[in-house]
Chains A and B, each alone.
Chain A
Amino acid sequence: MKHKINFKLNGQDQSAEVEPRLLLVHLIREVVNQTGTHIGCDTSSCGACTVLIDGKSAKSCTILAVQIDGKEIATVEGLATAEGLHPIQEGFHLNHALHCGFCTPGIMMRAVELLEHNPDPTEEEIRWGISGNLCRCTGYNNIVKAIQWASAKMRGAELPSTEPEFVE
């Protein structure tokens, strides 16, 4: 039996008729056709499918669509506004925090909640904070720098250098 659900996606009212077994990530990608949210491992390990549900980061491959009735979902498509990129996106861009980009939407959504919760995290807090997201390209260093950059920008603090570091 299908269930009618009403929810908000990036501020827009949506409704859908869903089978209980439909996963949230499939609702987002295949019913609402917002494909910025990726499916990586499909076993709640990699974090590529991370979205925000009522502001909390969640692995959308492990949530049923029917569970989000009445809730607000935020995905990577909602980060940029008419004024420009979100500081997290800008940080990723300037710090070369991606190579293939597959994990990027999930990590950025996770970083949004992390900075909401802890606006000035230490490097260790950032590394623990993104421990549920796998990146197979970057080695994470530039991702950590991107989040540090975004943190500075969002706090109005002095922006860290985005020049690459060369190690002798």
Chain B
Amino acid sequence: MIPESFGYSAPTTLQEAFSLLAEHGEDAKILAGGHSLIPMMKLRFASPTHLVDINRIPGLSYVKEENGFLKIGAMTKESAMEESSIIREKYPIFTDAAKLIADPQVRNFGTIGGNIAHGDAANDHPAVMMALDAEVEIASPSGSRTVSINDFFYGFYTTAIQHGEILTEIRIPTPANQFGCAYHKAERKVGDYATAGVAVAIHMDRGGVCRKARIGLTNVNSTPMRATQAEAALEGTTLTADDIKKAGQLASTECNPSSDLRGDEEYKRHLVGIITQRMIKKSLERIK
């Protein structure tokens, strides 16, 4: 399968990329890892008239801790996340997710920024970022703005990024000590999108009380979503077996899955309930 004809530029600075996006108008698309965009172009689901390949712009690929944030450059490859020692030691939720995203070859090219900017509720990073209270930096010729991940996803393939803007960084506030996080998705086979996925982050105080809970859900709504009722049911409790079970039930009721080839609605709700409970328990184990 061959995409429709298009023009191509590979700028080496953000300013150059902005000019190209402005010059080529609304039908120009940014090419990051390309592992969502190129398959869509081959299937002619997308036919941009021009691709602005941002892979040759230096300085957009990094994982670092700075000023109270974990900062991830938008062009950081999934495989680089898997290899980062900061990620492996402090943010095992990304290691959970990385293993389940597509396959090794795709992870060599797919980027974190692309996974989020694509705006697909079936992608895994959006739910993970929601669990981690992330914010994203969106750059434009006139400067840059910060958007909370909770306000980022507008609808199917639609995000807060306007034409001419580029997602440059994802920032995660450094959590306090008593913090645990985990992600899992049920998938039919390696490389498939989630039948349902759940990202959990739990913040406990010294007295064993849950001060903050965050639950992000993958592919059970038209946009990535937070299970806010389940979160509220956990906060202020000591996370007993009953508390965890109740949160699972709430998450399975408040999500909004549709029946498709991966399973019917009831099955997906069941999965959300079970995986939510398991990920809360796994997050707790990781605190100790």
Contact = CB atoms under 8 A, between A and B. Distances in A.
Interface in B1-39: 1-8, 10, 31, 34-35, 38-39
B104 A110 contact: yes
> In which size bucket is the chain A interface?
20 to 34
A47 interface: yes
B108 A67 contact: no
Between A19, A44, A58, A133, the greatest number of chain B beta carbons within 10 A of the residue's beta carbon is seen for: A44
A42 B42 CA distance: 9
Contacts of A20: 5-8, 51
B286 interface: no
Between A57, A62, A64, A133, the greatest number of chain B beta carbons within 10 A of the residue's beta carbon is seen for: A62
B105 interface: yes
B169 to A, nearest CB: 23
A27 to B, nearest CB: 12
A63 interface: yes
Given A47-B105, A62-B35, A110-B105, A128 B191 contact: no
B33 to A, nearest CB: 9
Interface residues of B, number: 30
Contacts of B34: 62-64, 67
A119 interface: no
B55 interface: yes
A66 interface: yes
A155 interface: no
A133 B104 CA distance: 9
Interface in A37-61: 42-45, 47, 50, 56-59
A132 interface: yes
A82 interface: no
B35 A44 contact: yes
A167 interface: no
Given A58-B108, A62-B39, A131-B103, 20 more contacts: A3-B8, A20-B7, A22-B2, A23-B2, A42-B1, A43-B1, A43-B42, A44-B39, A44-B105, A57-B108, A58-B105, A62-B109, A64-B8, A64-B51, A66-B10, A67-B10, A113-B104, A128-B99, A131-B104, A131-B191
Contacts of A113: 104
A21 interface: yes
B217 to A, nearest CB: 25
B254 interface: no
A149 to B, nearest CB: 20
B76 to A, nearest CB: 14
Contacts of B31: 64, 67
A67 B109 CA distance: 12
Given A44-B106, A57-B105, A58-B108, A63 B38 contact: yes
B171 to A, nearest CB: 27
Contacts of A22: 2
A103 to B, nearest CB: 13
What are the 10 A-B residue pairs with the smallest beta carbon separation, nearest first? A132-B103, A20-B8, A131-B190, A56-B108, A132-B105, A21-B3, A59-B105, A57-B105, A62-B38, A131-B103
